[in-house]
């Protein structure tokens, strides 16, 4: 009787995978991002950053072995993001989720993660409202109001009095427009025209003509990083906007490291606002870039890789403290602060979004002739400003 009972306990422990060797305790993280199509650079930057983090910290978080499973959503495609997330939850039985480049993709999975109670770290998607859609979302990137409002303040301080806003017509663009306009007008600025551009647009000539006709001191823009942002900056240069006296203000994904060198002189002098510049002067940023280069000599240090790198730190903290218990995991990271390659960051326990320094940058050439986003002003510890009424 006693013997049988002990056997039973041992068998149950074995079946549960407890205490039966290192391989038993694997915590799985599903990463959904764009690895193909025009936005494939995001998936690569996410993966390079995860690889760099794992190379530095090992494959274990606390006592738990961490396994990453990558899925390609191909771009802004909420149905695909939802199907892949479902597959990760049901078939792969992941304990955590991460990634999500595009707002519609992140919004589409909110009901799934909420129901499954799976902590999910957003590495990029930047519309304020996303984190309100499930208590299991945290975000290590930025929101467009978080960067647009400080830029509006800076513009006023520079004597810029009139602006035309031109944004991509979906979540992060509308948030950027609202965030910029509210602050700019509160400080006495005037928005002469507000243009919303379809997400598929690559020919920005007609929009440049409309902006020119309004003759503002500056334009303000948000466009998702990648081919559309590249085309917008080129169109600004090709249409002689600077010579017409119209300054360029934008969110920092506009002149991202992935396109900056290719843009060449077209990017010189443009002002953007962002939480990260590859030119950020800190020992940790230098180490981050050296570690990225070790995993892949072609890796790019930019907002996507830094979002994923800090997101992986958040995942490791959650897994170390919470294992497969989602509520313990969330507790471990809410309110946590650490030093990032971008500067000091905190996960706001209320909004679950990252509080961070926002930098105003200008594109210049460094001593070697390389184009950089030089940080010229720091606005410290900015929370998400998008949900404030
Ligand atoms: C988003 O869809 O939230 C998004 C995509 C690309 C960016 C920024 C935000 O560069």
CA distance 147 to 385: 9
Averaged pLDDT for residues 280-305: 96
Q: Give the pLDDT of residue 145.
A: 98
Q: Give the pLDDT of residue 259.
A: 84
pLDDT in tens, 369-389: 999 999 999 999 999 999 865
pLDDT in tens, 177-225: 999 999 999 999 999 999 999 998 989 999 999 999 999 999 999 999 9
Share of the chain above pLDDT 90, in %: 87
Comparing 12-21, 193-202, 231-240, which segment has the lowest mean pLDDT? 12-21
Which atom of ligand 1 is nearest the CA belonging to 225? 10
CA distance 341 to 45: 15
Share of the chain above pLDDT 70, in %: 93
Which position has the token pair 């039966």?
A: 20
Q: Give the pLDDT of residue 196.
A: 98
Q: How many CA atoms lie within 13 A of 55 on its CB side?
A: 16
183 C-alpha to ligand 1 centroid (Å)? 21
221 C-alpha to ligand 1 centroid (Å)? 13
Which atom of ligand 1 is nearest the CA belonging to 229? 10
Which position has the token pair 């404030």?
A: 388
CA distances (Å), origin 135, targets 43, 102, 125, 174, 185: 25, 19, 16, 24, 33
Comparing 104-113, 212-221, 227-236, 314-323, which segment has the lowest mean pLDDT? 227-236
Average pLDDT, the chain: 93
At residue 20 the predicted structure's pLDDT band, cuts being 50, 70 and 90, is very low
Residue 119 clears pLDDT 50, i.e. is over it: yes
Cβ 84 vs Cβ 108: under 8 Å: no
SS3 119: coil
Q: What is the rounded (10 degree) CA torsion for 132, 47, 338, 143? A: -40
Q: Give the pLDDT of residue 388.
A: 64
At residue 290 the predicted structure's pLDDT band, cuts being 50, 70 and 90, is very high
SS3 357: strand
Query: Which residue has its alpha carbon closest to ligand 1 atom 3?
Result: 125
124 C-alpha to ligand 1 centroid (Å)? 7
> By C-alpha distance, which of 130, 106, 123 is closest to 315?
123
Residue 31 host element (H or E): strand 26-33
43 C-alpha to ligand 1 centroid (Å)? 13
pLDDT in tens, 53-106: 999 999 999 999 999 999 999 999 999 999 999 999 999 999 999 999 999 999
Whole-model pTM: value is: 0.93
Q: Which of 77, 222, 225 to mutate to test the pocket of ligand 1 (most atoms within 8 A of CB)?
A: 225
**Domains of the chain with bracketed CATH:** 26-142+281-352 (3.40.50.2300), 144-274+358-382 (3.40.50.2300)
Residue 139 clears pLDDT 60, i.e. is over it: yes
pLDDT in tens, 252-275: 988 778 889 889 999 999 999 999
Q: Is 135 exposed, middle or buried (0-12, 13-18, 19+ CB in 10 A)?
A: middle
At residue 153 the predicted structure's pLDDT band, cuts being 50, 70 and 90, is very high
348: how many CB neighbours lie within 10 A of its CB? 17
Residue 9 clears pLDDT 70, i.e. is over it: no
Q: Which of 81, 124, 275 to mutate to test the pocket of ligand 1 (most atoms within 8 A of CB)?
A: 124
């Amino acid at each position: 009787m006693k013997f049988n009972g002990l056997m039973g306990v041992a068998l149950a422990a074995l079946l549960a995978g407890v205490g039966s060797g290192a391989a038993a305790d694997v915590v799985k993280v599903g990463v959904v991002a764009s690895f193909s199509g025009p936005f494939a650079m995001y998936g690569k930057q996410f993966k390079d950053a995860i690889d760099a983090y794992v190379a530095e910290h090992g494959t274990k978080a606390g006592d738990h072995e961490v396994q990453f499973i990558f899925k390609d959503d191909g771009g802004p495609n909420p149905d695909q993001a939802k199907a892949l997330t479902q597959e990760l939850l049901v078939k792969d039985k992941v304990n955590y989720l991460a990634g999500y480049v595009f707002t519609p993709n992140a919004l589409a999975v909110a009901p799934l993660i909420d129901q499954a109670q799976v902590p999910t770290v957003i590495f990029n998607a930047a519309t304020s409202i996303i984190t309100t859609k499930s208590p299991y979302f945290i975000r290590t990137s930025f929101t467009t109001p978080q960067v647009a409002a400080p830029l509006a303040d800076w513009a006023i301080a520079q004597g810029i009095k009139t602006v035309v806003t031109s944004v991509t017509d979906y979540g992060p663009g509308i948030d950027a427009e609202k965030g910029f306009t509210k602050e700019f007008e509160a400080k006495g600025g005037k928005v002469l025209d507000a243009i919303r551009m379809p997400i598929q647009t690559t020919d920005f000539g007609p929009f440049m003509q409309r902006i020119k006709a309004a003759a503002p001191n500056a334009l303000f823009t948000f466009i998702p990083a990648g081919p559309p942002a590249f085309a917008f900056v080129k169109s600004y240069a090709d249409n002689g906007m600077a010579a017409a006296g119209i300054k360029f203000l934008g969110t920092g994904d506009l002149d991202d490291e992935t396109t900056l060198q290719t843009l060449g002189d077209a990017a010189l002098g443009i002002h953007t606002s962002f939480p990260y510049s590859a030119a950020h002067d800190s020992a940790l940023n230098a180490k981050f870039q050296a570690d990225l280069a070790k995993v892949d000599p072609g890796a790019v240090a930019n907002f996507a890789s830094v979002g994923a790198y800090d997101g992986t730190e958040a995942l490791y903290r959650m897994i170390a403290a919470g294992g497969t218990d989602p509520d313990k995991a969330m507790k471990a990271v809410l309110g946590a602060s650490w030093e990032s390659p971008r500067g000091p960051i905190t996960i706001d326990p209320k909004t679950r979004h990252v509080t961070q320094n926002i930098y105003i940058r200008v594109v210049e050439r460094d001593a070697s002739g390389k184009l950089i986003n030089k940080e010229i002003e720091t606005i410290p510890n900015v929370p998400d400003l998008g949900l404030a009424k």
